[in-house]
C-alpha cells in the first residue's frame, strides 16, 4: 500500500506532472492554419507512470481521477490563484 501512496505522492508533487503543448493545425493548399493547442501530460520522470496511458490508467484504477485531473488543470493554469477556486477543492 505504501508503494502506491509513494507513486501518487510523486504524481501530485509540484514537479510530478510534466506538461507540453502541441499545436493542432490544418494543412490545406500549402497553408497551415492553427486551430488550437492540445495539452499533453506525463507522469513523474523515471517512473512507470511517465507515459500518459500508464498514468491515467493508474489513476482510474485507484479512483483518483478528479484529484489528478485537478492537478493537471492547475499545472497548466497561467494564474494558479484562480485555478483552485474555479474547479473547486476536495
Q: For residues 61 and 53, is the Cβ–Cβ distance under 8 A?
A: no
Closest CA to 41 of 65, 75, 9, 64: 75
Mean pLDDT by 10 residues, the chain (90 residues): 74 90 91 91 93 95 93 78 43
What pLDDT is recorded for position 83? Answer: 42
What pLDDT is recorded for position 88? Answer: 42
What pLDDT is recorded for position 79? Answer: 56
Q: For residues 86 and 77, is the Cβ–Cβ distance under 8 A?
A: no
Q: Can you tell me the distance from the alpha carbon of 89 to that of 50, in angstroms, rounded to the nearest whole number?
A: 25
Amino acid at each position: 500500500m505504501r508503494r502506491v501512496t509513494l507513486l501518487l505522492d510523486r504524481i501530485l508533487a509540484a514537479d510530478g506532472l510534466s506538461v507540453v503543448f502541441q499545436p493542432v493545425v490544418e494543412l490545406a493548399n500549402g497553408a497551415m492554419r492553427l486551430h488550437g493547442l492540445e495539452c499533453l501530460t506525463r507522469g513523474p520522470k523515471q517512473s512507470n507512470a511517465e507515459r500518459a496511458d500508464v498514468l491515467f490508467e493508474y489513476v482510474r484504477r485507484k479512483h483518483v481521477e478528479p484529484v489528478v485531473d485537478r492537478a493537471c488543470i492547475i499545472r497548466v493554469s497561467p494564474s494558479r490563484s484562480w485555478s483552485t477556486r474555479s474547479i473547486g477543492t476536495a
